[in-house]
Structure 1
């Protein structure tokens, strides 16, 4: 058996560390919260299907994104979301609508539940704006009548929350707070009736 030189072992370890191995620290995992239930103000007899949001490729991952002043996007090291961002936002939107207690049912496509409307959305921004020091959440949404496919309402929801620094914990907390504002606005909008 041939022995390896210390330099080759160190080189292999450095390459593995760069790829996430060799005992590197696992990134912290962060979750997003749903809007809690509120006092019931009369149910709306409607059923809604909430689709998974679409978005550009960087938003399709579980990584926390930083937008530099020139517009470049980068992933913030040391932190990640508990799931792919679109699926996590969909889950928290479903839960927020359920928590409002105003709808007959809230489901996802594929649940095989009859619905009156489909809620589709797009992630336009979900990042830390490094230049302004803000967590930015920007979602566009359309409410579509299930039978006709007609768009009955459309709106863009945006929230900005100041962040003191750009590190995983502060970034995740800022984005969670911004999403909470957006989800609360979306729940009111959906429950307003069309």
Structure 2
């Protein structure tokens, strides 16, 4: 198991919840379950349509989150990972895809996509994953925090910036319930990012 600490950077094993759950980033057989994230089907109230086309860039993230493994964070923060389960792709790629899907579901933009999609770009939506993890130490909480910046692609100026943070109770370290709680937090953050983007362009 790999643990990442901003203070020590040491690698060692962690027994969590009285040793009943071993968190690991290393599995010789690979993950037995892959998890995705949902995109809000109805993100926000209806509003005016925009002729703008928005490019969603790949989120920046610390190495501890730039991985397909599902993170668990102790106070510090010290990062460990659930064994035998993973995101369907690297976390930044999964988040990028779901932000695009959430914006598309608003039906209020002329175009939304990723690099290579052939957009005539008006704005870039740039993001940074600051937290996307199950927080333990006390109650178990699913924390998602994303910093977003909307940039005018024509002149490079920042139009707006904001930090979005949602925390949901998980109540357990069971992977299924932890991922469900992360989905709830992420769904709210994606909806807030979509509505903020539409209001800012």
TM-score of Structure 1 vs Structure 2, range by shorter chain: 0.7 to 0.9
SS across alignment from 2:200: coil
Number of residue pairs matched by the alignment: 174
SS across alignment from 1:58: coil
Report the alpha carbon displacement of residue 26 of structure 1 after superposing the two structures with TM: 4.2
Q: Which residue among 124, 128, 139 is the counterpart of 1:122?
A: 128
8 A Cα contact 1:43 1:102, kept in partner:
yes
Q: Which residue among 151, 174, 186 is the counterpart of 1:179?
A: 186
Partner residue in 2 for 1:149: 156
- Describe how 1:40-55 pairs up with structure 2 within 5 A: 40-55=46-61
Structure 1 residues 47 and 26: alpha-carbon distance in aligned structure 2, compared to 1, 3 A threshold: closer
CA RMSD of aligned residues (A): 1.6
- Describe how 1:83-94 pairs up with structure 2 within 5 A: 83-94=89-100
Larger proportion of helix: 1
TM-score, normalized by length of structure 2?
0.82
Does residue 1:103 correspond to 2:112, yes or no? no
Larger Rg: 1
Partner residue in 1 for 2:146: 139
CA distance in 1, matches of 2:134, 2:88: 18
CA distance in 2, matches of 1:120, 1:148: 15
CA distance in 2, matches of 1:82, 1:26: 10
Q: Which residue among 22, 35, 39 is the counterpart of 1:30?
A: 35
CA distance in 2, matches of 1:77, 1:19: 7
Gaps of 5+ in 1: 1-17
